[in-house]
């Protein structure tokens, strides 16, 4: 049995990666350019991919493929219909990153709301050491207790974020992007009402026809000028040009993003050019990737391989 992991670098150095060897020979590639995919899986029975595209061309050229394991929840990098026609099983992993994304959401929120970078720099610069008083009121920050915490996308991660926000004393409300998930113990609002009333907006939705360009300039104008926007869902949900404009024109208090329309972020992305950089936190799509989360991901891949062979 030969297993080929096409983009191992996407999961980093994770301690339980060796568990894959119980199923046979494992070949790892840190990254795989599109023009090398077919050659690298030419004698593989199992492919592991996070973002490398497995299309009909790859499948047709490699008839020995029996199982495609996606090292993620999203499956848009594999032609699922064609895999089914070819009798190739495709398995993803879900639920592994819930705690990591939840923690990262609040890490970004608190870093922004509490001006952590500013105060850290204030002390390390030596200015605080010369202060005549014990404290420094350079930038105001606010408590999230009692604030309206609005969530866009109330799936597993959205629900987890809601529970933590509730523990901090927030008032919860949400918008269901699918229109189906409306049986939560919090008010379900229309999007415009949520944007108008929330002090914090946290996005945890998938990218689809309903969410593409969901947060654009017209909707940013609806938000409170004191509001903070967090996107830990998918990049194109937020219009990046419009958000950069909103930040620099004081339309909202700040934003924190972990995802972008093009990843890695492009050098000319307007978010990298904002003047009010202190109002913006940008992370490199890392919210999902705690060590524990990545270990759970590898465990899930091993479970998927084991389940496949138990059934065949």
Burial class (CB in 10 A: 0-12, 13-18, 19+), 238: buried
Question: What does the alpha-carbon distance between residue 207 and residue 9 come to, in Å, rounded to a whole number?
Answer: 24
Tell me what percent of the chain is helix, strand and coil, each rounded to the nearest 5: 40, 15, 45
Q: Collapse the DSSP code of 175 into the 3-class scheme (helix H, G, I; strand E, B; otherwise coil) and give the result.
A: strand
- Indicate if 285 belongs to the active site: yes
- Indicate if 262 belongs to the active site: no
Closest to 146 in 3D by CA, of 201, 225, 199: 199
- Indicate if 279 belongs to the active site: no
Catalytic residue among 56, 263, 306, 307: 263
226 and 199 in contact (C-beta within 8 Å)?
Answer: yes
Catalytic residue among 40, 204, 219, 234: 234
Question: What does the alpha-carbon distance between residue 288 and residue 46 come to, in Å, rounded to a whole number?
Answer: 25
Question: What does the alpha-carbon distance between residue 161 and residue 151 come to, in Å, rounded to a whole number?
Answer: 8
Question: What does the alpha-carbon distance between residue 47 and residue 304 come to, in Å, rounded to a whole number?
Answer: 12
Q: List own/partner pairs for 53-62 with CB under 8 A and 24 or more apart.
A: 53/77, 53/78, 54/78, 54/79, 54/83, 55/79, 55/82, 56/82, 59/83, 59/86, 59/88, 62/38
Catalytic residue among 285, 292, 295, 299: 285
Q: Catalytic site residues?
A: 234, 263, 285
């Amino acid at each position: 049995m030969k297993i080929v992991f096409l983009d191992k670098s996407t999961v980093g150095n994770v301690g339980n990666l060796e568990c894959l060897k119980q199923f046979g020979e494992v070949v790892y590639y840190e990254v795989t350019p599109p023009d090398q995919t077919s050659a690298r899986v030419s004698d593989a029975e199992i492919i592991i991919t996070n973002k490398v595209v497995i299309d009909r061309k790859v499948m047709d050229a490699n008839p020995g493929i029996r199982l495609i394991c996606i090292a993620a929840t999203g499956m848009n990098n594999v032609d699922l219909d064609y895999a089914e026609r070819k009798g190739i099983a495709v398995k993803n992993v879900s639920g592994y990153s819930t705690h990591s994304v939840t923690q990262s959401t609040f890490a970004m929120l608190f870093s922004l709301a509490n001006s952590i970078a500013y105060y850290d720099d204030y002390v390390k610069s030596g200015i605080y050491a010369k202060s005549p008083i014990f404290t420094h009121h350079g930038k105001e920050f606010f408590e999230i207790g009692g604030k309206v915490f609005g969530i866009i996308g109330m799936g597993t991660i959205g629900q987890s974020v809601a529970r933590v926000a509730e523990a901090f004393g927030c008032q919860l409300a949400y918008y269901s992007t699918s229109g189906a998930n409306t049986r939560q113990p919090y008010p379900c609002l229309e999007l415009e009402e949520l944007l108008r009333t929330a002090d914090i907006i946290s996005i945890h939705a998938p990218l689809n026809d309903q969410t593409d360009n969901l947060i654009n300039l017209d909707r940013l104008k609806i938000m409170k000028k004191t509001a903070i926007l967090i996107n830990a869902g998918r990049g194109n949900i937020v219009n990046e040009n419009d958000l950069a404009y909103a930040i620099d024109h004081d339309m909202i208090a700040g934003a924190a993003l972990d995802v972008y329309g093009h990843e890695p972020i492009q050098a000319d992305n307007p978010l990298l050019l904002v003047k009010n950089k202190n109002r913006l936190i940008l992370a490199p799509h890392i919210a999902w990737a705690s060590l524990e989360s990545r270990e759970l991901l590898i465990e899930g891949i091993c479970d998927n391989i084991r389940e496949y062979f138990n059934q065949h």
